[in-house]
Amino acid sequence: MYSLLYSYAYSITYRYAKDEQEANALTNDSFLKVFKNIHLCKLEKSTNIVNSFKGWFRTIIVHTCIDRYRSKKNVKVFDIDTQYTLADHSENGEDKLSYKEIMMAVKQLSPAYKMVFNLHVIDGLSHEEVGKLLGISAGTSKSNLSKAKEHLRSILEQKMNYNKEHNATIRQ
C-alpha cells in the first residue's frame, strides 16, 4: 500500500510543506496514522473502493498537515501589511507559467496564507470549514486568502518580469 499510494500522498503534503523534507515527513506521518487507524476506515458500499479509500486517506493527510501547522503556530503570521501592485490582466499567466512554478510560488507564502489558500482554493473547503479546522474565524480565513492572492500575484509578477528581462538579454 505504501508503494502504491506514496506519490499520491506526497503530492498532497508537498502543497502544504515548506520543502521536500517536510513533505516526506508529513507523508510518512500520514501513513503511520493510516496504519494505526485502518480498522476505523468504513468504506461505503460503492463500485470503486479504491477511490473511497483514497478519500479517507486524503482526509488523514490534510489533517496531518493541519496538525503540523498548528504545532508551529507560535509565530504570528496574520499581519503582513505590504503594498503590492496588481497584475496586468491582459496577459494570460497560465500560458506562461508551469504548474511547478505556481506551486513554488505558493510555497513562498507564509504558513497561515499557504494553509488557507490550499484548503479553500485547492481542496475546496468553505471559509467556515477552513476557520473551524484552523481555529480562526471565517473572516480571518477570507482576509488571509485575499492577502495570499496578493502575495501570489506579486511573486508571479516578479517571476514574469524576470523571465521577460532574461529572455531580452539572451536575444541581444
* Structural domains in the chain plus CATH codes: 2-71 (1.10.1740), 93-171 (1.10.10.10)
Using only C-alpha atoms, the chain has a radius of gyration, in whole angstroms, of: 19
**Interval 152-160 mean pLDDT:** 86
**Interval 58-74 mean pLDDT:** 84
Q: How confident is the model at residue 158, as a pLDDT?
A: 86
Express each pLDDT in 109-120 by its tens digit. 998 999 999 999
Report whether pLDDT(40) > 90: no
Q: How confident is the model at residue 22, as a pLDDT?
A: 93
Report whether pLDDT(13) > 90: yes
Length of the chain: 172
CA 74 vs CA 15, 69, 71, 128: distances in Å: 21, 10, 8, 23
- Tracing cell 521577460 back to the chain, one arrives at 164
pTM of the model as a whole: 0.62
**Closest by CA position to 91, among listed 149, 49, 30, 153:** 153
Q: How confident is the model at residue 18, as a pLDDT?
A: 86
Contact 160, 117 (CB under 8 A): no
Q: How confident is the model at residue 80, as a pLDDT?
A: 34
Query: pLDDT class for 97, splitting at 50, 70, 90?
Result: low
**Interval 53-72 mean pLDDT:** 88
Q: Which range, of 11-20, 35-44, 61-70, 139-148, averages the lowest pLDDT?
A: 35-44
Counting residues of the chain whose pLDDT is more than 70, the rounded percentage is 76
